[in-house]
Amino acid sequence: MAAHDAVEVILAKRDKQELTDSQIDWVIDAYTRGEVADEQMSSLAMAILLNGMNRTEIARWTAAMIASGERMDFSSLSRPTADKHSTGGVGDKITLPLAPLVAACGVAVPQLSGRGLGHTGGTLDKLESIPGWRAALSNQEMFAILEDVGAVICAAGDGLAPADKKLYALRDVTGTVEAIPLIASSIMSKKIAEGTGALVLDVKVGSGAFMKELGSARELAETMVALGTDAGVHTVALLTDMATPLGNTAGNAVEVAESVEVLAGGGPADVVELTLALAREMLAGAGRSDVDPADRLADGSAMDAWKKMIRAQGGDPDAPLPQARETHVVHAPASGTLTRLDAMAVGLAAWRLGAGRARKEDPVQAGAGVVWHARPGDRVTQGDALFTLHTDEPDRFGRALASLEGGYDIEDGADLTPGPIVLDRIG
């Protein structure tokens, strides 16, 4: 590998030059090995945030991150593979019903998931509220469950894109999280290294999402679809609405309970709609468009796959879920139509109740969260229960209530038809 030095690479990007393949390969490798210091990499990350990268640079940067670790290969499985990645939102429990549903349709789902940070919940945190369930699996265990059950949701091992793990932590504390080239390469380096045959991206847009504006969400989606396509992975993205939180719950155990309702053939309409939309894209990418996932929800086979998947990872799918020790009900202050429910306000409330974490080492409460009893478009009567807050620590209610203040509107005489969940498809 050609020798460079960190200052040369920083200056090139500071001066809006295109980084060469050799510069990118060197800086990622040297940073992973500890030869490039954190302060130098944070300076380069800021230059990338301010001056951007073109498609060639982003593709090379992603390839260098993949090359920093191992690559998985699922070609030995008896069925095709497909995966989904969501950019994170409030009440976004979609992975839980989606993975067993797609497995019930004959496609294997190796879902390497993460923990929550800030107001967006983590899939692993939700599942860990199920008694006995464990997130850490060896590669051998993961392959065995995929062959047997067809779906696994677990923590990514340290071997996949270690450069990303190091850079992600640095971006978090240097104000460079929002750089689209770095978000795209972070997500796609892990997903491409994971070795799945087809990938569907759920890019959230709105107040409760990372991307607040449709334009920036579309740019991120297009960048990621291009990276996947260039790497030979069948990749599509759906832009989905996150102005309003998904379903009727935000938290951990409360979201598991709602996911089980969906698998039982019920559940909130928006969660069912998005789960089916993503399932159809995953099945199409894996060459199984002949199967209708709605049939698998109706006939109970998706629920069977869920129970089998949970048991395979040590969990008891029939055990009662943990419940918070304390609840507080917020009553509707007026009668009328709920015209707005702000996803960010709900996400912050759930976080402050103990459902999320401020630092990656913080614990989360399994029973904490928010349940809302009306969605935009619904009629409410003054005094009705609007929200129920759940926590083990009653001193958390005050700050949670403060974050809900101004987070919803009730208008008398208003008529509202909620808009679509899927805003656009890219790929």
Per-residue pLDDT, averaged over 327-347, amounts to: 97
Instruction: Give the residue-averaged pLDDT of 213-217.
Output: 94
CA 12 from centre of chain:
34
Instruction: Please give the domain boundaries of the chain with CATH numbers for all domains.
Output: 6-52 (1.20.970.10), 82-312 (3.40.1030.10), 326-411 (3.90.1170.30)
Cα dihedral angle (238, 239, 242, 244), rounded to 10 degrees? Answer: -80
Closest by CA to 390, choosing from 368, 408, 357, is: 368
DSSP label at residue 321: P
At residue 415 the predicted structure's pLDDT band, cuts being 50, 70 and 90, is: confident
Confidence check: pLDDT of 361 > 80: no
Q: Enter the tokens of residue 243.
A: 């102005």
Considering only CA atoms, which of 387, 375, 417, 396 is closest in space to residue 247?
375
Q: Which residues are catalytic?
A: 85, 164, 171, 186, 190
Closest CA to 365 of 87, 133, 121: 121
Percentage above 70 pLDDT, the chain: 98
Mean pLDDT of the chain, nearest integer: 94
Can you spell out the DSSP letters for 254-299? HHHHHHHHHHTT-S-HHHHHHHHHHHHHHHHHTT-TTS-HHHHHHT
Q: Kindly report the pTM of this predicted structure.
A: 0.93
In this predicted structure, what is the pLDDT of residue 136?
Answer: 93
Residue 117 confidence (pLDDT) above 80: no
Residue 93 has pLDDT above 70, yes or no: yes
Please tell me the predicted confidence (pLDDT) of residue 172: 79
Checking if the pLDDT of 118 tops 80, the result is: no
Q: What is the pLDDT of residues 224-256, one digit of tens each?
A: 999 999 999 999 999 999 999 999 999 999 999
Residue 363 has pLDDT above 80, yes or no: yes
Q: What is the mean pLDDT of residues 407-413?
A: 94
* Model pLDDT for residues 1-37, shown as the tens digit of each residue: 678 999 999 999 999 999 999 999 999 999 999 999 9
